[in-house]
Amino acid sequence: MATPRVIVLRAPGTNCDEETAEAWNLAGARAESWHVGRLLEEPHALDLFQVLTLPGGFSYGDDLGAGRILATHLARGLGDALRRFHDRGGLILGVCNGFQVLVRCGLLPGGEAPCPATLAHNDSGRFEARWVKLLPSPGVSPFVSFDEPLELPVAHGEGRFLLSDPKVLEALDDAGRIVLKYADATGAPTQDYPANPNGSPRAAAGICDATGRIFGLMPHPERFVSPLHHPRWTRLGDALGHEGHGMKIFRGAVAALA
Amino acid sequence: MLWHLDIEPASDQPDSTGLRASQEAVESGLPGPWRIASSRGYLVEGGLTADDLRDAARQVLVDPVVETFRVAPCPAADGPSATVVHVSPKPGVTDPEGESALGLLGDLGFAVEGVRSIRSYRIEGPAEQLPRLIQRVLANDAVDQVVVGPLNLDRLGEGKPYDFALVTVPILAMDDAALVKASKDGQLSLSLAEMRTIQAHFRDQGRDPTDCELETIAQTWSEHCSHKTLRGRIDFDGKPIDNLLKRTIFAATQELDLDWLVSVFSDNAGVVRFDDEYDVCFKVETHNHPSAIDPFGGANTGIGGVIRDALGTGLGSKPICNTDVFCVAPPDLAPDQLPAGVLHPKRVLKGIVAGVRDYGNRMGIPTVNGALAVDPAYLANPLVFCGTVGVLPRGKAFKSVEPGDRIVAIGGRTGRDGIHGATFSSVELTSESESLSGGSVQIGNAITEKMVLDVIVRARDLGLFRALTDCGAGGFSSAVGEMGADLGAVVDLENAPLKYQGLSYTEIWISEAQERMVLAVPPEHWEAFRDLCQMEGVEATDLGEFVATGRLTLRYHGEIVGDLAMDFLHDGRPDVVRSATFTPPPARAIEPPASADFTADLLAILGHWDVCSKEWIVRQYDHEVQARTVVKPLVGEREDGPGDASVILPVVGSHRGLAISCGINPRYGRLDPYAMAGCVIDEAVRNCVAVGADPDRIALLDNFCWGSPERPETLGSLVLAAQACRDLALAYKTPFISGKDSLYNEYSHEGRSLAIPPTLLISAIGQVPDVRRCTTMDFKAAGNRIVVVGETRAEFGGSLFAEARGLEGGVAPRVEPEVGLATFRALHKAIAAGLVRSCHDLSEGGLAVALAESAFAGEIGASVSLRGVPRDAAAATDATLLFAESPSRFLLEVEPKNLEALTATLRGLPFAEIGETTAAHGGPPRLVVEGIDGGRVIDASLDEMAAAWRRPLNW
């Protein structure tokens, strides 16, 4: 099987594009960074890729709300191309601001008549950079194909995942589509701060669409690709293994495309 | 038509802005009771209808889940709404939300001409306190406009067209008094001697200067840009010193002559070699005066400015981490103690933290190191230091400008922002500063700068330009003036893109609008450069040409508005001559108290602002973006322990790292500026070495913040500090590579002057050969040996123990350079060999604080005895051994199997094994310390120590 090609889309204010591309490369894919302006000019270029990634940052300054402006440009200029990309089996990953973009342009939670959704301000009222434990729910999304809890950093001010109809969130949960949940020290999903850093109901940290191929999450898997990225590596030593937990997400996607 | 789109939190959502405002009102001494409901929104001007705006609101301006909105016409109908307060940026103040809304609504086809963001507050509370609520909590006079009651605006009012008229300043005819007045009225901050020199120069030319020429000279000659005090002549108690900087700090670097230095004191940042392929650069700047007036905006543009310094170093570096150090008055100051025109220190600290957070996070640069120093004398003059480290490929550290190169400006547009920043930062603040100088506060827009960063790194790799620098203080004036200093330049000012109409040619030239860089682009690359900028959405403008005339020629629509000889501009300033003197404060010995239980002292020191947990600050900063941070600022079992230094990886795929640390101590500065400077250098180096940096690859930066150098005692203390920098840099072989001074940190009010204590920030950038050997300060396991390295002396002067006990005087700690250097080298060897399980430096609060921090960070107890702690004869008391702050000391945790090897490595140095790490014994783990005579002098649970340490900044 050929090496999967990944397009990492950057916009003004995107700032996690380099390390995200690096993580894909480490996982055995071939990542290219594209400016959104270029893709808007040639939407068909998307056909060259198997994975689209929207990395973290503050696209267009988040001036009108996190991810709003980029989402508007994508929906207006790339709506058809994205649908085609998804229909032919392409994978879409949105990390942090990228997740916010996917929610704002209706790709998550997705579906025919998407229920309005948002990533609202953290309950703490401020930006939070800290590490969290995440409970996976494997089997639905190729990005989450592992059972063991992950540790990853979050760094955001707006990460509380809300749907205008709370029943839809329950349905998402029942369908196993809240594929990553903030967990407490025992590994159980939690609403308690700071283990749940933003107050997301149902401890939602990452969700996918009905096909599992569109996946968005607030934590940053690209920031834990080496054991040295872990905040306690000087305590844990070899117990961390030879690579960071974030790699499981990238490797899962690459394996699914193989 | 002007519309107000008012956006409220939905009924089931918390109104955190409103709640925060109520809370801050109470903290600001306005007890209320308050009920404040907030909303955000936009003022939208244009031909669109209310229905259009509702449509736009639903599409892009309002959150569909957590917000509701309404649209109302302006001016609003009158109503009994006197308790509604609307706050929006003043016309001309940078308003990213407004600008983005304007752009996107335009893209979507709405008929919109102008948009400004607005916040509204519906207030229930005592009416007589409302004006103070607005002033202290809701708005900042310097940048905001406030409407109380109905919104009675009918348009946004973004400036009127400018009618050109050349202005000359008739200085030829002025007598001395008139010259002084002209300087003061024009906010030029030029001395009489300088005004006379300018007068003589123009007399030779047979004409008066234009306003633009005079402004250019004032900015180039300002203390901020030319550092005339430290580069001038100083008479120090009868001994002449010519150019203090050159004789102390530069001299040490020159004498050390180290082969890993690449570019020092000549560019926007100092550059050192990192590995075979890359160099790294580091710069730390202050942004004190603007931060006193508008903490958020000041700190915001402070970090934005220093990032541009790194970006504008050599042919451009990629910023890879930021630092921030703040000096403020005690945040728990009683509100009625505030002098007029001064913001409360808690508001100042919250504002500057928010300003750094906003800019650094948006730039995607991890903020990894910082410090907080609290002293009442910072009340009117808070200090804000921001630093940036950049990485650049080897061979890109130097720039040149050739005749014919285009002068190209990129990034943000030019507005009236920050006019007079360079000269304003060179004068004292007064109680009127807030109203007089509002215009010199700038507001940043980080995304514009991020786009500039993206363009510059790409254009550098394509070789599209020959030189670049940032527009900082002085704007185009200093950027073009500096780049063309050896050559000459012709600038067509009307080419500069403006934020709004109405700017005069002089305002265009001296504006300090943010996010702008100037480049020298060879004409053959201009097209490719412009296309690259366009692709990235960055505005690039050809402003003129570098020419070999030796003159700086400014034109406005073809008319010459300024024509200055470069050599007069850069070398014509008369030397500043100042006198300096120093009389040490009268010696007052501190008698250490008799042995007792010192647990309460330890808890008090752990709760001191300088020592306490900074987690509230650190977690608001993204300190891991770019995935380089391998030793975080917070370490230990709960990831909240106070790391000595952070370590980052500049080069992907390599394990060679950079340790970033700092040292600052105003308390020592008051007692003994020479000793203080030595101690803060030692602290910065110590912190770096503690995590694993090689002491033979550490470079330093200096930032001197002092009061008025026109007072001889103040300048005398600065001279001593600079001499200490020279002496210790030489002894430690740690070269200075860059620095910056900020003088006149004084505040005058009703004839009384309040100056800051002598404050020297030393920042260190150290290289770690292999980050996999890095150590952190948290105890790792029970049953390990605890070793203290370094000698403890009876040095209580300026210590936190003295402050906690109210003891005045004492001797400030002194560095013993030979022992210090030998200690650093031996310790590095031990760490690199993997012999050290944890390492923490001893600083404020001495051994006791280091033990407590290592213990609670690791959630591991410790049991130690003071008996063996290396000390001099005078230090034989428990209080001294626990709390004295002698430099060059470390606390190590060592596995028993490595003790012998460690002993061999440290042979010849003062060190001793003093105890062991312990597990919990039928209760939570404890720190237990026995005194010299075997009695318990400290016995505390880790929880109570950690609680005391977390409490102060638990906001």
Contact B624 A116 (CB under 8 A): no
Residues contacting residue B14 through CB under 8 Å, at least 6 positions apart: A123
CATH number, domain of B931, equals 3.90.650.10
Instruction: Provide the domain limits for residue B63.
Output: 2-148
Nearest to A72 among B60, B63, B649 (CB): B60
Angle at B529 between CA B93 and CA B400, to 5 degrees: 90
Q: Compute CA distances B828 → B631, B654, B846, whole Å.
A: 16, 20, 21
**Token pair in block for residue B642:** 């106070």
- Which of B119, B148, B177 terminates a domain? The answer is B148
pLDDT at B424: 55
Nearest to A64 among B100, B361, B451 (CB): B100
Classify each residue of B405-439 as buried b or exposed e, where b means 16 or more C-beta atoms within 10 Å of its C-beta.
bbbbbbbbbbbbbbbbbbbbbbbbbbeebbeebbb
> Own/partner pairs for B271-276, CB < 8 Å, 24+ apart?
B271/B313, B271/B314, B271/B392, B271/B397, B271/B737, B272/B699, B272/B737, B272/B765, B273/B394, B274/B391, B274/B650, B274/B651, B274/B656, B274/B658, B274/B767, B275/B651, B275/B654, B275/B656, B276/B394
- Which of B83, B113, B148 terminates a domain? The answer is B148
B782 and chain A in contact, CB less than 8 A: no
Nearest to B880 by CA among B587, B598, B680, B682: B598
Question: Do residues B681 and B763 make contact, with C-beta atoms less than 8 angstroms apart?
Answer: no
Contact B361 A58 (CB under 8 A): yes
**Measured between alpha carbons, how far apart are the two ends of chain A, in Å?**
6
Give CA–CA dist B20/B97, Å, rounded: 21
pLDDT at B21: 93
**Token pair in block for residue B29:** 């001494």
pLDDT at B438: 44
Q: What is the ipTM of this complex?
A: 0.97
Residue at B321 is within a domain: no
Contact B636 A223 (CB under 8 A): no
Omega within 30 of 0 (cis) for the link into B9: no
Nearest to B318 by CA among A175, A248, A3, A15: A15
Q: Looking at residue B78, what DSSP letter applies?
A: P
Question: Do residues B347 and B401 make contact, with C-beta atoms less than 8 angstroms apart?
Answer: no
Residue at B442 is within a domain: no
**Which active-site residues of A does the annotation give?**
96, 220, 222
Nearest to B66 among A118, A128, A220 (CB): A118
Nearest to A231 among B445, B620, B639 (CB): B639
- Looking at beta carbons, which residues of chain B come within 8 Å of A238? none
Residue at B510 is within a domain: no
Question: Do residues B429 and B747 make contact, with C-beta atoms less than 8 angstroms apart?
Answer: yes
Beta bridge partners of B40: B7, B119
3-state SS, residue B601: helix
pLDDT at B32: 81
Contact B64 A121 (CB under 8 A): no
Residue at B429 is within a domain: no
Angle at B659 between CA B655 and CA B662, to 5 degrees: 175
Contact B622 A13 (CB under 8 A): no
Give CA–CA dist B542/B406, Å, rounded: 7
What average pLDDT does the structure give for chain A? 96
Question: Do residues A33 and A18 make contact, with C-beta atoms less than 8 angstroms apart?
Answer: yes
- Looking at beta carbons, which residues of chain B come within 8 Å of A195? none
Contact A125 B16 (CB under 8 A): yes
Nearest to B847 by CA among B783, B788, B910, B921: B788
Give CA–CA dist B553/B116, Å, rounded: 37
- Cβ atoms within 10 Å, residue B297: 27
Query: Block means of pLDDT (10 residues each) for chain B, length 955 residues?
Result: 96 92 86 92 96 96 95 82 84 86 95 95 92 89 86 80 93 97 91 96 97 95 88 94 94 97 95 98 93 89 95 97 97 88 91 95 97 95 97 97 98 82 56 47 86 97 96 91 96 94 91 93 98 96 98 97 96 94 91 94 98 97 97 97 98 97 96 97 98 98 96 96 98 97 86 88 98 98 98 96 94 97 98 98 98 98 98 95 98 98 98 95 90 97 98 94
Alpha helices in B206-331 (DSSP H): 211-220, 223-226, 228-231, 244-245, 251-256, 288-293, 295-311
Whether residue B224 lies in the annotated active site: yes
Residues contacting residue B733 through CB under 8 Å, at least 6 positions apart: B256, B258, B695, B696, B821
Give CA–CA dist B350/B339, Å, rounded: 19
Tell me whether residue B204 is exposed, middle or buried, using C-beta atoms within 10 angstroms of its C-beta: 0 to 12, 13 to 18, 19 or more: exposed
**Token pair in block for residue B138:** 């809701």
- Which of B100, B131, B148 terminates a domain? The answer is B148
Cα of A236 to nearest chain B Cα, Å: 9
3-state SS, residue B518: strand
**Token pair in block for residue B228:** 């005339």
Cα of A56 to nearest chain B Cα, Å: 9
Cα of A127 to nearest chain B Cα, Å: 5
Give CA–CA dist B96/B110, Å, rounded: 19
* Count of structural domains, chain B: 2
Give CA–CA dist B387/B150, Å, rounded: 44
Overall size of chain A counted in residues: 258
Give CA–CA dist B251/B245, Å, rounded: 8
Residue at B882 is within a domain: yes
Q: Compute CA distances B467 → B125, B333, B396, whole Å.
A: 57, 48, 10
Give CA–CA dist B611/A224, Å, rounded: 30
Residue at B907 is within a domain: yes
Contact B622 A126 (CB under 8 A): no
**Token pair in block for residue B514:** 């943010």
**Token pair in block for residue B266:** 């000549």
Give CA–CA dist B440/B425, Å, rounded: 9
Overall size of chain B counted in residues: 955
Summarised one tens digit per residue, pLDDT across range A12-37 is 999 999 999 999 999 999 999 999 99
Cα of A237 to nearest chain B Cα, Å: 10
Beta bridge partners of B787: B892, B913
Summarised one tens digit per residue, pLDDT across range A120-156 is 999 999 999 999 999 999 999 999 999 999 999 999 9
Nearest to B580 by CA among B453, B746, B756, B706: B706
Inform me whether the pLDDT recorded for A174 exceeds 60. yes
pLDDT at B512: 87
Give backbone dihedrals phi and psi of B156, rounded to 5 degrees, phi first.
Answer: -80, -30
Give CA–CA dist B903/B899, Å, rounded: 6
CA pseudo-torsion sign B773, B777, B780, B781: positive
Give CA–CA dist B299/B358, Å, rounded: 10
Nearest to B710 by CA among B677, B746, B757: B746
- In B594-623, the residues whose Cβ lies within 8 Å of chain A are 618-623
Q: Enumerate domains of chain A plus CATH numbers.
A: 5-257 (3.40.50.880)
Q: Looking at residue A48, what DSSP letter applies?
A: G
Placement of tokens 């005895």 in the chain: B865
Tell me whether residue B517 is exposed, middle or buried, using C-beta atoms within 10 angstroms of its C-beta: 0 to 12, 13 to 18, 19 or more: buried
